[in-house]
Amino acid sequence: MSTMSPSIAAFDLSHERGFLPLLDPLTRLPRAFDAWESVAQGLPKLLVSDQVRRTIADLPPFPIEAINDCRERERAMVLLSYLGHAYVWGGPRPELILPAVLAVPWHQIADSLGRPPVLSYSSYALQNFFRFDTSREIECGNLGLIQNFLGGIDEEWFILIHVEIERKAAPAIAVLDACLNAAEAREAEQLEVLLSRVESSLHSMYASLRRMPEHCEPFIYYHRVRPYIHGWKDHPDIPDGVIYEGVEAYGGHPQQFRGETGAQSAIVPALDAMLGVRHKEDVLSSYLREMRTYMPPTHRAFLESLESRVPVRRFVQRAGRRPLTSKYNACVEALEAFRSLHFEYAAAYIFRQTQTDAKNPHAVGTGGTPFMQYLKKHCDETAESRLE
């Protein structure tokens, strides 16, 4: 029996890259977009001036008709999302009306990609890296960001660690279907082998996450990186949302969208689905479902395909094989360790920081949630999935 399920290709996923794009992201749009690309690349300088909003508002019409393929749409989404967040957050007070020159193409591109017009994890990380040496792996040391807000090593490292984690998750993502197949076929030994690969992948993800403090300081992250990735839903400083001027579908009404957050990555929900880690039905579980609307549609579909099947936990319980149970528990424990380390970082990088700006609350996540409570619940529910 094959240990690699070919079905992931149907969701634009690969065994080598997992949820990362099949081809490295475009670093720049065609020449017709040079004015827009120039402003996007100048954001680190514009954001320390009082010119950013005027400069964006004065841009020529976005030549959306010159977008030719999906890679160009994704680059356009990165560019427009960064400019959109720079416009809203790039001043002493948040700006509550996005100009039509930005809002209209942002909405059109986002709609074509099946995501809301807001900066999401896909544009912040998955579609925002390049390799210095394309013959080498997607890993820190060989990666740079295509797009920044302020720039600097802390912003680069924070995002690139997430890119590396996505790459390290690929071996696990590649065998999730195969794990479910083995459980359905009652092939205990085969499932043990596959779960070993999942466990190894989780350890690699954990090792990458542990490297976060190497080049990303908590104080710098909180005060220089985080402020620009907030959204405008459940944010105390933008209670009613933001108006997208000129977008007919919104009729001039403020729109509320959540900000960029790791909860918009499909890695952990996919592992939860295969292992059978259950989250009790409450406000948190509703939030996690909402986060999927910010994922690429193919990632959402992949999660749904996994969740439509019986998780391996049931077979492991019934099989009563100590080696299989131990291997299952090792995966659960590795997932809980990853979540626990993330929880520790959330405390150090956000919750313990001193809030100095209403635009950047330390008790509310960039996704607009009481994140410490939510992350602790994630950890506890993962640990509860361990089998005796």
Tell me the pLDDT of the chain (388 aa) as tens digits.
444 444 799 999 999 999 999 999 999 999 999 999 999 999 999 999 999 999 999 999 999 999 999 999 999 999 999 999 999 999 999 999 999 999 999 999 999 999 999 999 999 999 999 999 999 999 999 999 999 999 999 999 999 999 999 999 999 999 999 999 999 999 999 999 999 999 999 999 999 999 999 999 999 999 999 999 999 999 989 999 999 999 999 999 999 999 999 999 999 999 999 999 988 877 777 888 899 999 999 999 999 999 999 999 999 999 999 999 999 999 999 999 999 999 888 888 887 776 777 777 655 656 556 655 666 777 788 888 899 8
Q: Tell me how crowded residue 100 is: count the other CB atoms within 10 A of its CB.
A: 15
What is residue 245's predicted lDDT score, i.e. its pLDDT?
A: 98
Per cent of the chain over pLDDT 90 is 83
For 363-381, how does the pLDDT look when each residue is reduced to its tens digit (9 = 90+)?
Answer: 565 655 665 566 677 778 8
Residue-level length of the chain: 388
What is residue 285's predicted lDDT score, i.e. its pLDDT?
A: 78
What Rg do the C-alpha atoms of the chain give, in angstroms?
A: 21
What is residue 187's predicted lDDT score, i.e. its pLDDT?
A: 98
Q: E-assigned strands of the chain?
A: 97-98, 129-131, 143-145, 243-244
What is residue 260's predicted lDDT score, i.e. its pLDDT?
A: 95
**What are φ and ψ of residue 140, in 5° steps?**
-60, 140
3-state percent helix, strand, coil for the chain, nearest multiple of 5? 60, 5, 35
What is residue 6's predicted lDDT score, i.e. its pLDDT?
A: 46
What is residue 363's predicted lDDT score, i.e. its pLDDT?
A: 59
d(CA 238, CA 159): 25
Write the CA distances from 22 to 70, 147, 201, 262, integer angstroms: 12, 19, 19, 20
Report the Cα–Cα distance between both ends of the chain, in Å, rounded: 29
What architecture is domain 20-383? Up-down Bundle (1.20)
Per-position b or e across 185-205, b if 16+ CB within 10 A of its CB: eeebebbbebbebbbbbbebb
For 100-135, how does the pLDDT look when each residue is reduced to its tens digit (9 = 90+)?
Answer: 999 999 999 999 999 999 999 999 999 999 999 999
What is residue 370's predicted lDDT score, i.e. its pLDDT?
A: 61
Q: Where are the alpha helices (DSSP H) in 114-187?
A: 121, 153-184
Query: What is 255-266 written as a DSSP string?
Result: B------GGG-S
Q: Is 379 helix (H, G, I), strand (E, B) or coil?
A: helix
Q: Is the pTM of this model over 0.85?
A: yes
d(CA 148, CA 224): 11
For 329-355, how does the pLDDT look when each residue is reduced to its tens digit (9 = 90+)?
Answer: 999 999 999 999 998 888 888 877 767
What is residue 252's predicted lDDT score, i.e. its pLDDT?
A: 97
Closest by CA to 328, choosing from 272, 386, 279, 273, is 386
